[in-house]
Every structure is written in C-alpha cells, then in structure tokens.
C-alpha cells in the first residue's frame, strides 16, 4: 500500500449540508394508550391539554393506563421527522440521558433521517423525558408529560454550528415552561439571526400561552418570523373573545402566522392578506396527537423548498391528515410520496 505524501487541503473538505429546518425541543418517548373521560377525571387531567408531571405522578399514571405502545415523540422532534419524510433536510437539538429511553429516542429520530445533535445530561440530572398520551374515543389526545433531563436544557446546549447551517430554526413553545430553556431559546434566536436565518415558533398549547403570554408577545416584535398556533392558542395570545379579533391582531404584527382550525382547515395571515385553506378530508380520525406537529412539517418544508404560503398550507393539511389517521404522532407513510400522489409536489 502506498501512502500519498500530498498534504490534504482543508478547502478540499466538503461543506456541511445546508439544512431546511432545525428544531429545538424536548426529546420525549410517547407512551400511548386508549382511555375514557372517567380516567382523565380520576387522574386530574384536563382533556385535550398537556399537563407537566413529576416522576412519581408519571409512575402512578402509567400504572393506571391500559395496554400501551411506545414511540419516540416530542413536538418539535415530530415536526422534524415529518420534514425528513417529505424529503427535506432536518436537524434537531435536544437533551437526553444515557438510558434506555434516550437510546430509543436517538435511534428513532436518526433512523427517520433527522440529524440529531444530542446534549447529553449528567447522570445526576435524571432520565430522558416521557409523555403519557391518553387517547379517547373521540380521537382527542390528553398528555401528561414528565420532561426529565429536558428541564436542564440551557444556553450551553445550543449548537451554534448547526444553527448556522439552517434556513429556519423552529422553537417549541413548551420549552418556555423551563427558565434555563427559555434562555436557550433566546440564544438560539440570536445565533440564527446572526447567520441570516429565520425563526419560527409554535405556541404548543393554550395553557402554555396563558403562562407565557408576555414572553410570546415580546417575541413577535422582531424575534419571530413565522408563528404557528391553533384557534384557541391564537385567541388566548391576544385575549380575544373572537377568532376574527385574533386574526386582526396578527395582521397588526406583520408576522407570517399560520392558524389551524381542525376540520375547518387553516388560515394563513400574510402581509398581502389572509389565505383560507381547507382541511384534507380523512375517512376516520383515530388520534389527533401530532396533528399540529405534522401540519408544521408540511408548511415549513413548503416554505423552504420553493412553495408559496398557500400551497405550503395545502401540503401541511395533507401531512396532518396522514398522522391523525392512525395512533402515534409520526407519519407511517412516506409523506413525499403522498404529496406527489396528491399533485402537491
């Protein structure tokens, strides 16, 4: 074997691939089970919402659950998996522990084609987070979340090199429940804008909006370029008693906003006016868990791959329709193929 004496030039190394979107959120493993309203009431859970719980509560609720399935989850991570399924280039930043749930999460997100930049927690910080998902007969999902080591996510865990490669950084509103993570979100915003990228935020949950309304409104004044919300979250953000009032308030901010309305479709508020896009019909809704996450996948993929806001919203609706047709918050079909069949891509 001959070893070349020619020096390797650093300029010969391939440039890191540009990413469409990098998501930042809580890495979770979902534990999903069928439920009824009586169990939710007994456990003290508000139907259709997300409740933060401690480890003892998680153990007690898990014991009360029916037969369950486990699947990697976390709102922003689900969105990145959807972008990868569409054929996009996605990355994810989050904190896991060196435990079995951390291994499951890492395997699943990398297997889906997402570039995962893991912040590894200290052993004393605890375990990887988990989300107990109770699905009732009306397909509504109620979540009880033990965040685990995600509660220790801090500015030092934000990978500036990854953010320098992305067109859009996508932030999970749930993280604003955690003071260190809130500072990490602000660091991510600064790093993204310094690299001339855009920032998107999902409001995550109406209860989350109530807790952090001032923070979210502050972000709309120059920090956020794109915002995702459902109808309840949008109205809560502006303390509006009507959906029309919330839309008018979004128009005043100048931020591109996408508001989902379930079977009524979505409304995209742009500087040029409003766009109303119908929902993609499904034969039967099985589980609404992940609907908003996968809607965001379609819209973000569209906006970073040459589609206009209206066509991006149609793609978003298609992605959401796939995930609500089965249990679990990540797609079971290849979304890129589904979009081609529908004539959107």
pLDDT score at 14: 55
Domain that holds residue 97: 17-27+74-126+149-341
Residue 207 resides in a domain: yes
Residue 35 resides in a domain: no
Q: Specify the pTM.
A: 0.89
pLDDT of residue 278 exceeding 80, the answer is yes
Residue indicated by tokens 């990697």:
72
pLDDT of residue 10 exceeding 80, the answer is no
Residue 67 resides in a domain: no
Distance of CA 190 to the CA centre of its chain: 20
pLDDT band at 178 (very low <50, low <70, confident <90, very high): confident
Helix-, strand-, coil-residue percentages of the chain, each rounded to 5: 45, 25, 35
Q: What is the CATH number of the domain that holds 248?
A: 3.40.1190.20
Residue 200 resides in a domain: yes
What's the whole-number mean pLDDT along residues 307-320? 98
Residue 37 resides in a domain: no
Residue 56 resides in a domain: no
Instruction: Name the percent of the chain lying above pLDDT 70.
Output: 96
Distance CA 53, CA 55 (A): 7
Residue 57 resides in a domain: no
Residue 45 resides in a domain: no
pLDDT in tens, 150-170: 989 999 999 999 999 999 999
Nearest Cα to 199, choosing from 170, 172, 174, 228?
170
Distance CA 133, CA 65 (A): 9
pLDDT score at 64: 95
Using the CB atoms, write b or e for 53-85: b if 16+ within 10 Å: beeebbeebeeebeeeeebbbbbbbbbbbbbbb
Report how many domains make up the chain: 1
Q: What are phi and psi of 276, to 5 degrees?
A: -105, 125
67 and 84 Cβ atoms separated by less than 8 Å = no
pLDDT of residue 93 exceeding 60, the answer is yes
């Amino acid at each position: 074997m001959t070893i070349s004496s020619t020096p390797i030039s650093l300029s010969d190394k391939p440039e890191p691939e540009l990413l469409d979107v990098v998501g930042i959120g809580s890495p979770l493993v979902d534990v999903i089970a069928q439920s009824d309203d009586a169990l939710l009431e007994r456990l003290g859970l508000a139907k259709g919402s997300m409740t933060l719980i401690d480890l003892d509560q998680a153990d007690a609720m898990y014991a009360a659950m029916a037969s369950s399935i486990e699947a990697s989850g976390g709102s922003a991570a689900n969105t990145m998996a959807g972008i990868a399924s569409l054929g996009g280039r996605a990355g994810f930043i989050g904190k896991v522990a060196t435990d079995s749930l951390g291994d499951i999460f890492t395997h699943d997100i990398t297997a889906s084609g997402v570039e995962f930049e893991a912040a590894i927690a200290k052993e004393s910080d605890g375990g990887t987070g988990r989300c107990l998902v109770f699905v009732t007969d009306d397909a509504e999902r109620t979540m009880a979340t033990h965040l685990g080591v995600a509660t220790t996510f801090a500015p030092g865990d934000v990978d500036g090199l990854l953010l320098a490669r992305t067109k859009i950084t996508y932030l999970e509103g749930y993280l604003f429940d955690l003071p260190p993570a809130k500072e990490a979100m602000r660091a991510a915003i600064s790093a993204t804008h310094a690299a001339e990228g855009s920032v998107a935020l999902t409001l995550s949950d109406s209860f989350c909006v109530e807790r952090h309304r001032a923070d979210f409104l502050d972000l709309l004044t120059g920090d956020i370029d794109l915002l995702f919300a459902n109808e309840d979250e949008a109205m809560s953000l502006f303390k509006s008693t009507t959906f029309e009032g919330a839309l008018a308030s979004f128009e005043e901010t100048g931020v591109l906003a996408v508001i989902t309305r379930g079977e009524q479709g979505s409304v995209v508020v742009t500087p040029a006016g409003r766009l109303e896009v119908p929902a993609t019909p499904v034969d039967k809704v099985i589980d609404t868990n992940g609907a908003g996450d996968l809607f965001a996948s379609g819209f973000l993929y569209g906006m970073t791959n040459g589609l206009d806001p209206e066509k991006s919203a149609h793609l978003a609706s298609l992605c959401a329709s796939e995930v609500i047709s089965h249990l679990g918050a990540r797609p079971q079909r290849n979304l890129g193929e589904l979009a081609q069949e529908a004539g959107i891509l």
